[in-house]
Chain A
Amino acid sequence: DTAVSQTPKYLVTQMGNDKSIKCEQNLGHDTMYWYKQDSKKFLKIMFSYNNKELIINETVPNRFSPKSPDKAHLNLHINSLELGDSAVYFCASSFRPGTGNTEAFFGQGTRLTVV
């Protein structure tokens, strides 16, 4: 029944490793997002996909690569993890702006800790 689900909820890994976070939504939305919440709790957009197409990439390092196999999934792969990547990552979905209803639904967040 979960609208937006992301896994895992917690991820602890060593520097230099490669890891993925998965996100799936069952709301029929056509737009999905990845947001990063830093230690000061400030949320910032990383990527936005509309119908599997990348439409926003906000100066995120190339080590971060989103993959959208279909419009219900948006996964985030991170190469060569660094200490500064430690944060909470939120997936979200909505209908695209201009459709009249852009209410966003969020996943539970993935707390990534790089040691």
Chain B
Amino acid sequence: KNEVEQSPQNLTAQEGEFITINCSYSVGISALHWLQQHPGGGIVSLFMLSSGKKKHGRLIATINIQEKHSSLHITASHPRDSAVYICAVTGTASKLTFGTGTRLQVTL
């Protein structure tokens, strides 16, 4: 079982919909990261959080340390949000452990 689990694996939404991607982890962490990988392949860091909630534009990330769970929300989704969203955690060692990613497709 992967230390970081994401759901759903694939998600199709219509433009304007509110989207939620979930991440659960089973190890102690110092931080949780949400990353975005576009079809071109590049990986961009969206959020790094260790508690509470962060917001950037239409993106919101929350984390519940006690439940070992995080969510990434996208409000008013747009086709340009189509990408793979990856949850990753920084544990005690100096490395990221990744979830398997959620492939999001937003259609017109």
Contact = CB atoms under 8 A, between A and B. Distances in A.
6 contacts: A42-B98, A43-B98, A50-B94, A97-B30, A106-B35, A106-B44
Contacts of B44: 106
A53 to B, nearest CB: 11
B90 A97 contact: yes
Contacts of A43: 86, 88, 96, 98
A109 interface: yes
Interface of A: 31, 33, 35, 40-45, 48, 50, 55-56, 58, 88, 90, 92, 96-98, 101-106, 108-109, 111
B41 A103 contact: no
Interface secondary structure of B, over-half rule:
strand
B45 A104 contact: yes
Given A31-B94, A48-B95, 7 more contacts: A41-B100, A92-B96, A97-B30, A98-B30, A102-B30, A102-B31, A104-B48
Contacts of B84: 41
Contacts of A108: 41-42
Interface string B89-101: 0111111111011
Interface in B50-105: 84, 86, 88, 90-98, 100-101
A102 to B, nearest CB: 5
A97 B33 contact: no
